[in-house]
């Protein structure tokens, strides 16, 4: 099967592309800049170029991963957020509609407001707490309205790629590598870590079923940023040396409001017997074991 993939230079694509190739799919990778030799340049905000590119490649499936994922940038520049995450998705979905192509759209736990005590399932009603969340949710709505053969898969706090990871886990690892003996980590924000390696494997299994629709796909379990940092320290072998102090998010102000909870349960995968995601602690331990001496 021929797959055109947007956001090919990103953190998630770094695991999804090799997993697809391993499973015999032919992948054509695109990103806004041609940063890697086997990736072509494509700006998803340019509707005409998107159409021409897709028409040229004639894929059976588009994996739409490209997005503006900097939550604070989205808050400061909503036009940019909606142009990339919402209209960019509309451009891709419209081509799929016109040419009869299946679409996978990656969405986020950020579509939820965050006041639910239990993890969010696919049957909870979204209500985003920031511009990034609104722009991604509007992308979901467009995909749902324009297409019937689509998958929308919501991921949680993404982890992968070790030093290319710009997110939480590597930020903590970096501080440990710099020799910090005391860390201050937010204890009042909760989420479900999502390891890109596990996600890529489960995603390929889901694609093969052709069970279209909306899914959550995160590692099992959930925790606060503080819980995760404590486990990182433990798995780095520094449990008796480094102290991890819990702090309140009010002590660490950021431009975009963050939901109290971005915990999700992969409930539909559970119901159809396709939840292959390990518990996040198990994946974190393995991730650190494989990478810590790099």
CB nearer to ligand NAP: give 215 or 242: 215
Residues 7-26 that bind ligand NAP (CB under 6 A): 7, 9-13
- Going by the DSSP 8-state scheme, the letter that residue 119 receives in this structure is P
- Nearest approach, Cβ of 155 to ligand NAP (angstroms)? 4
Half-sphere exposure of 166 (CA within 13 A, CB side): 6
C-alpha torsion sign, points 275, 234, 166, 225:
positive
Q: What is the dihedral of CA 281, 116, 66, 140, to 10 degrees?
A: 140
Contact flag: residue 106 with ligand NAP (CB under 6 A): yes
Query: Computed from CA positions of residues 108, 113, 118, 123, in that sequence, does the dihedral angle turn out positive or negative?
Result: negative
Residue facing ligand NAP at closest CB distance: 10
Binds ligand NAP by CB under 6 A, chosen from 27, 66, 104, 242:
66
Q: Are 9 and 20 in contact (CB under 8 A)?
A: no
Scan residues 126-145 and list those touching ligand NAP (CB under 6 A): 136
Which residue number, 25 or 242, has a Cβ lying nearer to ligand NAP? 25
Between CA 264 and CA 217 the distance in angstroms is 8
Contact between 64 and 14 under an 8 Å Cβ cutoff? The reply is no
CA pair distance 150, 144, nearest whole angstrom: 8
Cβ closest to ligand NAP, residue 6 vs residue 261: 6
Residue 87 CB, nearest approach to ligand NAP (Å): 10
Interface residue with ligand NAP among 82, 157, 195, 287 (CB under 6 A) is 157
Distances (CA, A) of 132 to 14, 71, 72, 250, 265: 22, 6, 8, 20, 21
Say whether residue 256 binds ligand NAP (CB under 6 A): no
CA neighbor of 191 nearest in space, from 165, 161, 228: 228
108 or 275: CB nearest ligand NAP: 108
- Cα(150)–Cα(146) distance, rounded to whole angstroms? 9
Q: Rule CB under 6 A: is residue 119 a binding residue for ligand NAP?
A: no
Residue 42 or 137: which CB sits closer to ligand NAP?
Answer: 42
Q: Is 278 in the site for ligand NAP (CB under 6 A)?
A: no
| Residue 97 near ligand NAP by CB under 6 A | no
Binding mask 24-63 for ligand NAP (x = CB under 6 A): -------xxx--------xxxx------------------
Q: Which residues bind ligand NAP (CB under 6 A)?
A: 6-7, 9-13, 31-33, 42-45, 65-69, 84, 88, 106, 108, 136, 155, 157-158, 167
């Amino acid at each position: 099967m021929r797959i055109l993939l947007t956001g090919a230079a990103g953190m998630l694509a770094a695991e999804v592309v090799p997993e697809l190739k391993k499973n015999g799919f032919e992948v054509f990778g695109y990103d806004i800049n041609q940063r890697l030799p086997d990736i072509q340049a494509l700006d998803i905000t340019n509707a005409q170029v998107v159409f021409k590119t897709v028409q040229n490649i004639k894929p059976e499936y588009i994996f739409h991963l490209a997005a503006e994922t900097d939550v604070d940038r989205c808050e400061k520049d909503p036009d940019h957020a909606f142009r990339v995450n919402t209209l960019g998705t509309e451009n891709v979905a419209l081509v799929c509609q016109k040419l009869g192509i299946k679409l996978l759209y990656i969405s986020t736990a950020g579509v939820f407001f965050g006041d639910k005590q239990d993890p969010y399932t696919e049957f909870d009603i979204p209500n985003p707490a920031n511009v990034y969340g609104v722009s991604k949710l509007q992308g979901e709505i467009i995909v749902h309205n324009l297409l019937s053969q689509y998958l929308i898969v919501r991921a949680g706090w993404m982890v992968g790629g070790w030093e290319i990871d710009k997110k939480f886990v590597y930020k903590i690892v970096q501080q440990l590598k710099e020799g910090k003996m005391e860390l201050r980590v937010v204890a009042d924000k909760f989420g479900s870590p999502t390891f890109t390696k596990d996600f890529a494997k489960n995603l390929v299994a889901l694609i093969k079923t052709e069970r279209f629709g909306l899914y959550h796909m995160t590692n099992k379990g959930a925790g606060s940023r503080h819980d995760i940092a404590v486990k990182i320290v433990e798995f780095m072998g520094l449990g008796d040396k480094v102290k991890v102090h819990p702090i309140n998010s009010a002590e660490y102000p950021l431009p975009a409001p963050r939901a109290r909870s971005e915990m999700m349960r992969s409930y539909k995968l559970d119901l159809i017997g396709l939840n292959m995601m390990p518990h996040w602690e198990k994946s974190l331990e393995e991730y650190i074991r494989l990478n810590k001496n790099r």
